[in-house]
Amino acid sequence: KAGVTQTPRYLIKTRGQQVTLSCSPISGHRSVSWYQQTPGQGLQFLFEYFSETQRNKGNFPGRFSGRQFSNSRSEMNVSTLELGDSALYLCASSDGLRTDTQYFGPGTRLTVL
């Protein structure tokens, strides 16, 4: 099976812009979770989508949003970018059931100037 793919791998944006990141899960997986990784805060949970519905949400401002499509692909959007949004954004795929083992993609490195 192909692994989790994320596009783009690298992005450079300026403050105030908005950005959309994409994640394609492992075939057959219905859950996609997003995490932000920074040197200062470590790995933090953003939100999770399961069968096109947001099932869980972390403590991030409303500028961070996401959605999931019927083919389980997910997008994450960040509006009005701030310097502190510079991070590695990781997407994880799972079957969303009890064992729920999460498999991560390579991440999108976002730099905000």
Q: Indicate the Cα dihedral angle 44, 22, 74, 87, nearest 10°.
A: 10
Subset of 16-35 contacting other proteins (CB under 8 A): 31, 33, 35
Question: Which two tokens mark 97?
Answer: 């059931």
**Does position 104 bind other proteins by CB under 8 A?**
yes
96 binds other proteins (CB under 8 A): yes
Token reading at 26: 């492992």
How far, CA to CA in Å, does 20 sit from each of 27, 28, 63, 111? 22, 23, 12, 13
Nearest approach, Cβ of 55 to other proteins (angstroms)? 6
Smallest gap from Cβ 98 to other proteins, in A, equals: 8
With CB under 8 A as the contact rule, the residue among 13, 22, 45, 67 that binds other proteins is 45
CB neighbours of residue 62 within 10 Å: 6
Residues binding other proteins (CB under 8 A): 4, 6, 31, 33, 35, 42-43, 45, 48, 50, 55-56, 58, 90, 92, 94, 96, 98-107
